[in-house]
Amino acid sequence: MSIVNEIYKEDYSISEDKLLAKVIDIPELTAEDLWLLPQYVFDEWRKKHDYPRILDNFKRRFNKFTEWMQAYSLTDEILMDGYISSFIRNKYTEGKNDLKFHLVLVTYKGKSKHQVWYSYDKNKIYNAQNITYEYKGEFISYFDWCESNNIENIEINVERLHQASVQEQVYYNFDLKLLKMGGIEPLKNGLGQILRPKKIEFVNLNGLKLSDEINNNKSIEFIFSTVDNLICSHLKVFFITFDNSSVRNLYVENSDISNWDFINSNTSGRIKDSSTKNFRIWGGQFIPVFENTEPEGFDVYHSNLKHSTKFDRTYRALYKANNETGNYKEANKFKILELDYKRSNAAGFFNKASWMIDKYFWGYGKEPKRIILFSSIIILFFGLLLSLISHQIIPDKLLITLNSFEIVLHSIYCSVVTFVTLGYSDIYPTYGLARFIISIEAILGALSMGALVVTLTKMKE
C-alpha cells in the first residue's frame, strides 16, 4: 500500500510543505511512495533517513574522505543539501584543464539550497527576480582530488543479491544497501504525473518499468545508481541522464526516446522497433543491440573521460546499427572513430607509425579524399623538384624557348603522367637524378591509384 498515494487521494493539490510534514517522520517508504514524492520532499526525507548512512559509509570506506571534506570546509549538511554525487564525481571536460567546481547557495521563495556549478564568473551579477545567489567557494571533487594527490584510486564496490528478481538488493562498498526504487512501474500522483524533473542518486532502480508518454522539460537524472533490467515499452520520453550508473540489460521496444545522456555508464541490452535520437555517450561503454532501429544524431566522447578498456565496442555497436539501417555515412563515421580509438592505444614505435600512415594516408580505407589530397601534394612536390633539373626531362630544343613559369608547368605535366603511369611522349627523364626521382614517384603513384580503387570499393560496399 502506498502511503503517499493515499495522501494524494485525499488532497491531490496538497502543498509540498504539507506533504513533507506527513512523511518526514516515516523511516521507511515503499518504492511507489518514493516515486510519488516531488523533488523537494524526496530530498528532505533522504536527508533525515538515507543520506547520513551514505556519508557514514564513505567516511569509513573511502581513503581520506574526511580529510578531503576538511580541506574545502565541506560539512555533512552541505554535501546532503547539494547532492553528494555532485561533490565526489570527476569533472568531465574535453580539455580536463579546470578541475574546480563552484559552490553556490541559491535562495528562492524563502528556501535555500546549495548547488554545485561547473563554472562561475565572479564579475557577473547572477541575482534574478525572487532568486538570490551567494557564492560560497570552490572545491575539487573527491575523485579528482584523489587523482591530483596520487591517493590510491577509489572505486565504488558493487554487490548484487537476488539478481534480476523483484527482491534484488544492491550494496555499495560492502555494507551500504541502496534505497530501492526499482522492480515496479511508478504510480501517477494526483496530477497524473509520474516523472517530474528529478535527481536520483545512490538508488537501486533495477527492474524499473516505464511506459506511456511522460512529459518532462528537464532531465531526469540517475546518478551513481544501478538501473539494470530497465524495461521501456511504448514509451515516449525526452531528457534522461544516466551518470556513473550501471544500465545493464536495457530493453526498449516500440518507443520514441531522445536526448538521453550516458555519462561514464556501462550500458548493454536491446533496443528494437523504436525511434532513438540525439543520444550522447560520454565514456563508460554503450553496447546495446539495435533491431529495426536507427540511432539518429548520436555523439560519442572518450577523450579525458573514464571508459572501458574495450571502448571500441561502443563505436562498433553504433557502426553495426547504422550499417544495418542503410545509413552508411553515419556508419562510416563510427568505423573511423573506432579505428581512431585503437590507434590512440597502439603500443610500440612501428605499430604507432603504421596506424598513423593508415589514418592520414587514406583514413583507414574509408576516406578517398585523403588519397586525392595526398596525390595532389605528391604531384606538385615532384613537379617542383623536377623543375630544378628540367634539363634532364625537357629536350634542349624546347627548353631554350621556355621561361621559368613554363618550365614549372612542363615539369608538373611530367610529374602527372609519371604518377598516373600514363606513359611519356615528348617530355621524359633522359638520365641521372631525374630517373631516380621519377622511379620513386611512379611507385607512389601506383600504390596510391590502387589504394583509391580499394577505398572507393569499400565505400560502395
Rounded to a whole number of angstroms, the distance between the first and last alpha carbons of the chain is 58
**What is the rounded distance in angstroms from the CA atom of residue 292 to the CA atom of residue 220?**
27
How confident is the model over 25-45, as a mean pLDDT?
A: 94
* pLDDT attached to residue 213: 79
- Over residues 20-49, the mean pLDDT reads 95
Average pLDDT over every residue of 210-214: 82
Query: Which of the four pLDDT bands, split at 50, 70 and 90, describes residue 197?
Result: low
Asked if 123 and 131 count as a contact pair (C-beta separation under 8 A), the reply is no
Q: What pLDDT shows up at residue 453?
A: 82
For the domain made up of 362-460, the CATH class stated in words is mainly alpha
Per-residue pLDDT reduced to its tens digit, 87-112 = 999 987 655 578 899 999 999 888 89
Query: Average pLDDT of 431-457?
Result: 85
Q: Is the pLDDT of residue 190 over 80?
A: no
Residue 454 has pLDDT above 70, yes or no: yes
Percent of all residues in the chain with a pLDDT value above 70, rounded to a whole number: 94
Confidence of residue 251 (pLDDT cuts 50, 70, 90): very high
Mean pLDDT value of segment 230-238: 91
Q: Could you tell me which residue, 429 or 296, shows the higher pLDDT?
A: 296
> Who has greater pLDDT, 227 or 329?
227
Q: What percentage of the chain carries pLDDT values higher than 90?
A: 56
Task: Count the neighbouring beta carbons within 10 Å of the beta carbon of residue 33.
Answer: 22
Mean pLDDT value across the chain: 89
| Longest CA–CA separation in the chain, Å | 107
> Out of 227-241, 272-286, 413-427, which region has the weakest mean confidence (pLDDT)?
413-427
pLDDT at 64 over 90: yes
Which of 19-33, 175-189, 364-378, 415-429 holds the top average pLDDT? 19-33
* pLDDT at res. 458: 64
pLDDT band at 152 (very low <50, low <70, confident <90, very high): confident
User: Mapping DSSP to helix (H, G, I), strand (E, B) and coil, where does residue 132 land?
Assistant: strand
What is the average per-residue pLDDT within 72-96? 89
* pLDDT of 191 strictly over 70: no
What average pLDDT does range 371-394 have in this prediction? 91
DSSP assignment of 10-61: H-TT--HHHHHHHHTT-S---HHHHHHS-HHHHHHHHHHHTHHHHHHHHHHH
CA distances from 351 to 46, 159, 338, 347, 354 (A): 53, 40, 17, 6, 5
> What's residue 203's pLDDT?
97
Identify the pLDDT of residue 206: 96
pLDDT of residue 122: 82
| pLDDT value of residue 307 | 83
Residue whose entry in the numeric block shows the C-alpha cell 580503387: 453
- How far out from the chain centre does Cα 228 lie? 19
Does the pLDDT value for residue 274 go beyond 90?
yes
Q: How far apart are CA 177 and CA 53, in angstroms?
A: 9
